């Protein structure tokens, strides 16, 4: 009976830390996701089902929306989870999480995400980086700046005819955004993945 | 009885005792409040939130499992709001629960299945979660499949309450899992395989390991009976299918501390179909045991009994039924006319102590254990150990007096180590010195005693207690019962299920005692039941009447096959003096017959027919109200036996003939 798992150890993070962690995030979907992840990682005690199982499910749904695979059903599920968690959670932590989600839902941003807009451009799967060929001078600075070898292309050599244009390989791109300031001609722009519109 | 509270549940007027929670209160009005984690008799933990109900005038819904009734309150158990919450929780649980009800053993009695049906959830609307946890099924008793777990923690709480403390959660929330220490399989943990977690699991997460395709709950015929494996005589509920016993559950009402079964009671039933069963009468011909017919066996026996007359001796075990014991006494005294007729009870008790009165363990606030060492791990009176530990966890106090180091002492508030008689005297004197009223003779008898500090501490508990219960070993009963003259009740705890019944039905000797009978020379010895006698006593003709081929039976001249415990019908008187009905759960194997039928047949062949005992005969024999008078503070001599060894001996056939043998072997290897 000696080594029963230690219980009731005081969590290192509390709800204030969770709030602090999401302070700098602007996109409601990202904020909610981070909030729930942080909440699950420490302060959630797991003593009642609506909160313990509900917030996990909310995380699953938020990840789906954040990755661009979200549906109406996901938003409805989050709404239901938040409503019921507020009603049925045992303690203030669960209720606070529910309130947070409800507030974020009110912004309407979740629905926008379903249509492919992330207003704050923080949901990386909603955007892509692209080299605009008309502006590109084939200098190669972006290629040097990219740490992930996601940019292909050849520097223009004046006596050679033909060239390999600079392009961003989307599969390799991690959307770190470091190439944007590297381009002195402003030839790398962010566009919305779904619509192809500049943002 | 506490104050009666009036309240309204769904418009129905309900009157319940003060302190009742809303789930139990609603139950009395026939209203079921859904719940997964509530365990009757234990504090509600409010984990599942299914029992939320709305209270008139209350702001938010409250959990019914942990809300006590209040005068004039009015609650609604089935409003739109709480229905939505319940639906939500069931929906979430279903998202991580296998949806294989069609092949699930628990179908029909699964709470989750019922609620999914009630709330019209065909499948979860949430994303499916699968964990791939391994199933713990390396032991032949309990199968644990965490995939089915609904995290209600009932198993953990029951295990803790009874003091075994094997199970615990690891992780939180969705990833939580019920584990043993270091997540080892059960047989590598401190598990005693009592299986009480099986009784409380609402789903298929913890189940008897051999239940797969042995039928579902609705196919079983249920028989209430009693386990006869040790002195606790626990109530059992036997589930049978096609004449075979499939499983045994605890038969005590929900919520009682008594609701407990040990591995022997729950899993020992295999032994009724074991190879060691004797199913036909056997007779020794030319030094070898040969099968014979009942007619021949009884004719042989009659002839030998007539020849032996008063030189014949009858011995029985202390777990034969009242009806059987009564007839055996008549057979010995009236038909054969011998004075030598005794039971194994006389090995550990005097007859008077077996007439001891009753006590209420469920409401006692102090337990005094004098000279007994109930132990779940050694399976010595395990139910008593569990009952005491459960009650202590609920706030009752415990004083243990023992000369050894019993395991239960670790749960005691005061452990008085040393000679029990001395401890009893010291406690008595200490209580008197606290100014508690006691009989004059007792004050005089104890005047010379100088109590120790421990005794003074114990006396504080005793003085503060309203209803103490003194549980004593039979040899100490008379001395310990003196304490009950101050207050409370005292009972002697025998080692065999029907020890009290056997004595009360008159299976007591007028000449030689059990130990004398087996150690002296007799013309004929008629031994009934399983007893701690392994080698043949010095006797001209040995008759063994038992359900199994014991060591003694192999040396017998005549073996009469008797029905096993689950194949007989009658009554016993348990250690608390209660008459308990033993019912037949299956037909006797082969040609075996119930003890009393054999006695009747023998008596008839002897020319003095006996009649079957009636219920009223038993009731007449039971003296429930025994007046305790002051007895000398003295231990009865010659009754010191090793309880562990004795109990092991009387259940040898049960253990060796069932899957319990696996456990015995395992414990042997661990011990080495």
Q: What is the pairing mode between strands B235-241 and B244-250?
A: antiparallel
A7: pLDDT strictly greater than 60:
no
Q: 């015929």: which residue's tokens?
A: B221
CA distance B192 to chain A (A): 12
CA angle B363, B619, B588 (to 5 degrees): 100
B319's CB contacts (< 8 A; 6+ apart) are B228, B229, B496, B497, B498, B499, B529, B530, B565, B572, B650
- Nearest residue on chain B to A83, judged by CA atoms? B85
What value does the mean pLDDT take over residues B510-528?
A: 95
Q: How confident is the model at residue B584 (pLDDT cuts 50, 70, 90)?
A: very high
Neighbours of B372 (CB within 10 A): 27
- To the nearest whole percent, how much of chain A has pLDDT over 70? 94
**pLDDT tens-digit readout, B413-440:** 999 999 999 999 999 999 999 999 999 9
For every residue of B387-445, DSSP letters joined together read HHHHHHHTT-EEEEEESS--GGGGG-SEEEES-HHHHHHHHHHHHHHTT----HHHHHH
Nearest-CB residue to B173 (from A40, A61, A77): A40
In sequence order, the β-bridge partners of residue B8 are B13, B74
3-state SS assignment for residue A128: strand
CA distance B50 to chain A (A): 9
* Residue A145 in contact with partner chain B when CB distance is under 8 A: no
Residues in chain A: 199
What's the burial of B51, exposed, middle or buried (CB within 10 Å: 0-12/13-18/19+)?
buried
Separation in Å, CA B94 to CA A71, B91, B153, B172? 21, 5, 17, 18
CB distance B350 to B564 below 8 Å:
no
Instruction: Provide the 8-state DSSP code for B475.
Output: G
**Quick one: pLDDT at residue B65?**
95
Decide if B173 and A53 are in contact by the 8 Å CB cutoff.
yes
- To the nearest whole percent, how much of chain A has pLDDT over 90? 77
Q: Both tokens of residue B484? A: 């009950």
CATH number of B353-493: 3.40.228.10
Class of domain B282-351+498-570+588-621 (CATH, top level): alpha beta
What value does the mean pLDDT take over residues B50-67?
A: 94
State the average pLDDT for chain B: 94
Task: Report CA torsion sign: B144, B147, B150, B151.
Answer: positive
- Measured distance CA(B493)–CA(A8) in Å, rounded: 40
**Quick one: pLDDT at residue B1?**
61
**Quick one: pLDDT at residue B672?**
72
Query: Please, what are the domains in chain A?
Result: 15-114 (1.20.1440), 126-192 (3.30.70.20)
What value does the mean pLDDT take over residues A94-99?
A: 96
- Measured distance CA(B410)–CA(B397) in Å, rounded: 13
CA distance B148 to chain A (A): 15
Instruction: Provide the 8-state DSSP code for A10.
Output: P
- Measured distance CA(A174)–CA(A30) in Å, rounded: 17
Nearest-CB residue to A49 (from B48, B168, B179): B48
**Quick one: pLDDT at residue A2?**
41
Decide if B173 and A55 are in contact by the 8 Å CB cutoff.
yes
- Measured distance CA(B574)–CA(B190) in Å, rounded: 29
- Measured distance CA(A4)–CA(B300) in Å, rounded: 62
**Quick one: pLDDT at residue B167?**
97
Q: Both tokens of residue B555? A: 């040396």
Phi, psi of A83 (to 5 degrees): -60, -50
This prediction's pTM: 0.92
* Residue B95 in contact with partner chain A when CB distance is under 8 A: yes
Predicted ipTM of the assembly: 0.88
**Quick one: pLDDT at residue A53?**
96
**pLDDT tens-digit readout, A136-154:** 999 999 999 999 999 999 8
Nearest-CB residue to A4 (from B60, B126, B168): B168
- Measured distance CA(B225)–CA(B541) in Å, rounded: 35
* Residue A86 in contact with partner chain B when CB distance is under 8 A: no
* Residue A53 in contact with partner chain B when CB distance is under 8 A: yes
- Measured distance CA(B339)–CA(B333) in Å, rounded: 6
- Measured distance CA(B507)–CA(B173) in Å, rounded: 59
CB distance A126 to A113 below 8 Å:
yes
Comparing CA positions, the residue from B331, B321, B354 lying closest to residue B226 is: B321
Task: Give Cα B494 to chain centroid, integer Å.
Answer: 13
Q: Both tokens of residue B368? A: 């005094």
Q: How confident is the model at residue B616 (pLDDT cuts 50, 70, 90)?
A: confident
Decide if B173 and A80 are in contact by the 8 Å CB cutoff.
no
**Quick one: pLDDT at residue A10?**
61
Q: Which residues of A touch B127 (CB under 8 A)?
A: 57, 60-61
CB distance A3 to B181 below 8 Å:
yes
Decide if A88 and B49 are in contact by the 8 Å CB cutoff.
yes
* Residue B59 in contact with partner chain A when CB distance is under 8 A: no
Decide if B173 and A77 are in contact by the 8 Å CB cutoff.
no
Size of interface A-B (CB pairs under 8 A): 90
CB distance B48 to B82 below 8 Å:
no
Interface test with chain A among B54, B66, B88, B182, by most A beta carbons within 10 Å: B88
Q: What is the pairing mode between strands B168-170 and B177-179?
A: antiparallel
Please report, for chain B, the start and end positions of each structural domain, with discontinuous segments joined by +: 4-78, 111-273, 282-351+498-570+588-621, 353-493
Name the least confident of A84-98, B44-58, B618-632. Answer: B618-632
Decide if A60 and B127 are in contact by the 8 Å CB cutoff.
yes
B550: pLDDT strictly greater than 90:
yes
**pLDDT tens-digit readout, B274-309:** 999 999 999 999 999 999 999 999 999 999 999 999
- Nearest residue on chain B to A89, judged by CA atoms? B49
What value does the mean pLDDT take over residues B633-660?
A: 93
**Quick one: pLDDT at residue A11?**
59
Q: Which residues of A touch B160 (CB under 8 A)?
A: none
Separation in Å, CA B611 to CA B476, B572, B614? 37, 19, 9
**pLDDT tens-digit readout, B164-180:** 999 999 999 999 999 99
- Measured distance CA(B176)–CA(A63) in Å, rounded: 21
**pLDDT tens-digit readout, B320-345:** 999 999 999 999 999 999 999 999 99
- Measured distance CA(B670)–CA(B516) in Å, rounded: 38
**Quick one: pLDDT at residue A3?**
44
* Residue A56 in contact with partner chain B when CB distance is under 8 A: yes
Nearest-CB residue to B89 (from A2, A49, A61): A49
Q: What is the pairing mode between strands B539-546 and B522-528?
A: parallel
> What CATH number does domain B4-78 carry, 3.40.50.880, 3.10.20.740, 3.90.1150.10, 3.30.1490.110?
3.10.20.740
Nearest-CB residue to B168 (from A5, A49, A84): A5
Q: Which residues of B touch A3 (CB under 8 A)?
A: 181-182
Interface test with chain A among B65, B171, B174, by most A beta carbons within 10 Å: B174
Span B111-273 CATH architecture = 2-Layer Sandwich (3.30)
**pLDDT tens-digit readout, B531-541:** 999 999 999 99
Considering only residues 115 to 134 of chain B, which have any Cβ-Cβ distance to chain A shorter than 8 Å? 125-127
Interface test with chain A among B58, B64, B92, by most A beta carbons within 10 Å: B92
**Quick one: pLDDT at residue A156?**
82
**pLDDT tens-digit readout, B192-208:** 999 999 999 999 999 99
**pLDDT tens-digit readout, B28-54:** 999 999 999 999 999 999 999 999 999
Interface test with chain B among A4, A40, A69, A81, by most B beta carbons within 10 Å: A4
Nearest-CB residue to B172 (from A44, A54, A87): A44
Residues in chain B: 672
Instruction: Provide the 8-state DSSP code for B334.
Output: I
- Measured distance CA(B334)–CA(B329) in Å, rounded: 8
């Amino acid at each position: 009976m000696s080594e029963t798992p230690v219980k009731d150890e005081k969590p290192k993070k509390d709800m204030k830390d969770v709030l602090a962690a999401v302070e700098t995030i602007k996109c409601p979907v990202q904020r909610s996701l981070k909030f729930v992840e942080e909440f699950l990682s420490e302060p959630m005690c797991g003593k009642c089902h609506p909160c313990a199982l509900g917030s996990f499910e909310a995380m699953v749904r938020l990840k789906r929306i954040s990755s661009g695979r979200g549906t109406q059903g996901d938003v409805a599920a989050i709404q239901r989870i938040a409503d019921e968690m507020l009603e049925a959670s045992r303690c203030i932590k669960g209720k606070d999480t529910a309130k947070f989600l409800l507030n974020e839902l009110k912004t309407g941003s979740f629905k926008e995400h379903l249509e492919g807009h992330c207003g704050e451009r923080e949901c990386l799967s909603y955007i892509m980086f692209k080299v605009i060929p008309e502006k590109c001078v084939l200098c190669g600075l972006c290629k040097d700046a990219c740490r992930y070898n996601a940019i292909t292309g050849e520097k223009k050599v004046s006596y050679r005819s033909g060239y390999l244009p600079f392009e961003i390989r989307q599969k390799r791109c991690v959307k770190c955004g470091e190439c944007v300031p590297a381009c002195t001609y402003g030839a790398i722009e962010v566009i919305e993945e779904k619509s192809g519109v500049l943002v | 009885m506490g104050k009666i509270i009036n309240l309204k549940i769904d418009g129905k007027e309900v009157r319940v005792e003060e302190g009742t929670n809303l789930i139990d209160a609603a139950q009395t009005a026939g209203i079921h409040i859904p719940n997964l984690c509530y365990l009757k008799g234990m504090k509600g933990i409010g984990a599942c939130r299914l029992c939320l109900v709305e209270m008139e005038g209350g702001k938010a819904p409250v959990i019914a499992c942990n809300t006590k009734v209040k005068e004039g309150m009015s609650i609604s158990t089935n409003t739109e709001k709480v229905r939505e919450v319940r639906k939500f929780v069931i929906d979430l649980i279903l998202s991580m629960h296998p949806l294989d009800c069609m092949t699930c053993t628990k179908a029909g009695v699964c709470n989750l299945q019922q609620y999914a049906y009630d709330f019209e959830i065909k499948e979860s609307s949430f994303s499916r979660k699968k964990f791939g946890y391994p199933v713990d099924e390396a032991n032949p008793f309990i199968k644990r499949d965490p995939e089915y777990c609904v995290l209600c923690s009932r198993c953990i709480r029951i295990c803790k309450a009874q003091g075994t403390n094997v199970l615990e959660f690891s992780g939180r929330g969705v990833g939580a899992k019920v584990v043993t220490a270091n997540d080892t399989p059960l047989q590598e943990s401190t598990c005693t395989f009592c299986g009480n977690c099986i009784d409380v699991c609402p789903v298929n997460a913890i189940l008897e390991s051999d239940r797969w395709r042995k039928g579902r709950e609705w196919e079983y015929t249920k028989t209430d009976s009693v386990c006869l494996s040790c002195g606790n005589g626990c109530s059992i509920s036997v589930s049978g299918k096609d004449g075979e016993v499939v499983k045994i559950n605890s038969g005590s009402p929900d919520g009682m501390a008594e609701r407990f079964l040990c591995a022997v009671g729950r899993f020992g039933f295999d032994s009724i179909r074991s190879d060691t069963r004797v199913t036909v009468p056997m007779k020794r011909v030319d030094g070898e045991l040969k099968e014979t017919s009942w007619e021949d066996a009884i004719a042989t026996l009659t002839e030998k009994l007539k020849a032996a007359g008063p030189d014949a001796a009858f011995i029985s075990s202390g777990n034969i039924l009242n009806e059987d014991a009564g007839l055996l006494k008549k057979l010995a005294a009236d038909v054969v006319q011998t004075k030598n007729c005794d039971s194994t009870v006389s090995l550990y008790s005097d007859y008077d102590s077996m007439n001891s009165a009753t006590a209420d363990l469920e409401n006692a606030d102090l337990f005094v254990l004098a000279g007994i060492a109930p132990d779940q791990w050694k399976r010595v009176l395990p139910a008593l150990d569990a009952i005491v530990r459960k009650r202590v966890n609920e706030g009752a106090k415990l004083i243990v007096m023992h000369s050894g180091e019993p395991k239960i002492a670790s749960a005691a508030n005061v452990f008085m180590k040393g000679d029990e008689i001395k401890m009893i005297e010291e406690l008595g004197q200490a209580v008197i010195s606290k100014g508690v009223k006691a009989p004059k003779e007792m004050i005089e008898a104890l005047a010379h005693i100088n109590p120790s500090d421990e005794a003074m501490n114990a006396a504080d508990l005793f003085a503060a207690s309203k209803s103490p219960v003194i549980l004593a070993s039979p040899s100490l009963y008379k001395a310990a019962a003196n304490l009950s003259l101050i207050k409370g009740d005292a009972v002697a705890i025998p080692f065999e299920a029907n020890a009290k019944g056997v004595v009360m039905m008159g299976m007591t000797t007028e000449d030689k005692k059990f130990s004398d009978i087996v150690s002296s020379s007799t013309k004929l010895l008629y031994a009934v039941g399983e007893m701690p006698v392994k080698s043949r006593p010095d006797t001209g003709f040995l008759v063994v009447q038992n359900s199994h081929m014991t060591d003694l039976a192999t040396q017998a001249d005549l073996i009469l096959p008797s029905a096993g415990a689950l194949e007989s019908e009658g009554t016993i008187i348990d250690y608390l003096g209660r008459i308990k009905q033993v019912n037949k759960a299956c037909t006797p194997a082969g040609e075996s017959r119930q003890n009393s039928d054999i006695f009747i047949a023998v008596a008839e062949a002897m020319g003095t027919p006996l009649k079957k005992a009636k219920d009223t005969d038993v009731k007449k024999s039971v003296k429930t109200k025994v007046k305790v008078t002051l007895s000398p503070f003295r231990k009865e001599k010659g009754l010191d036996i090793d309880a562990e060894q004795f109990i092991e001996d009387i259940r040898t056939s049960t253990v060796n003939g069932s899957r319990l043998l696996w456990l015995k072997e395992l414990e042997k290897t661990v011990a080495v």
